[in-house]
Amino acid sequence: AQSVTQLDSHVSVSEGTPVLLRCNYSSSYSPSLFWYVQHPNKGLQLLLKYTSAATLVKGINGFEAEFKKSETSFHLTKPSAHMSDAAEYFCVVRRNQGGKLIFGQGTELSVKP
């Protein structure tokens, strides 16, 4: 069975400081992994995805994530937080093409001025 665990329900950073949102996954197969962002009362926007190519994946808005098979992790990072980054972030795993997405419970990111 596949699952994904987001290790922090809430992360608070100051504007201009680094962001780290942690995600561990469990999968018997080579997974596809995604990070989605959801701003308040909005839909889901894809930040980045890993599909067994390069282990360091660059996404939109300066975010990136590194797939580490040995640690079963896919943490999301950004060097410098912006106020507009405040949102809910979801780590997501999918087993195969067209397969179902399994969502983590989300991490709320707050950015202080």
Q: Which residues bind another protein (CB under 8 A)?
A: 32, 34, 42-44, 46, 49, 51, 90, 97-98, 100-101, 103-106
50 versus 63: smaller Cβ distance to another protein: 50
Minimum distance, C-beta of residue 59 to another protein, in the bound complex (Å): 14
25 versus 104: smaller Cβ distance to another protein: 104
Q: Which residues contact 25 (CB under 8 A, 6 or more apart)?
A: 2, 3, 4, 5, 31, 33, 72, 73, 74, 91, 93
8 versus 15: smaller Cβ distance to another protein: 8
Return d(Cα 86, Cα 30) in angstroms, integer. Answer: 31
Minimum distance, C-beta of residue 51 to another protein, in the bound complex (Å): 5
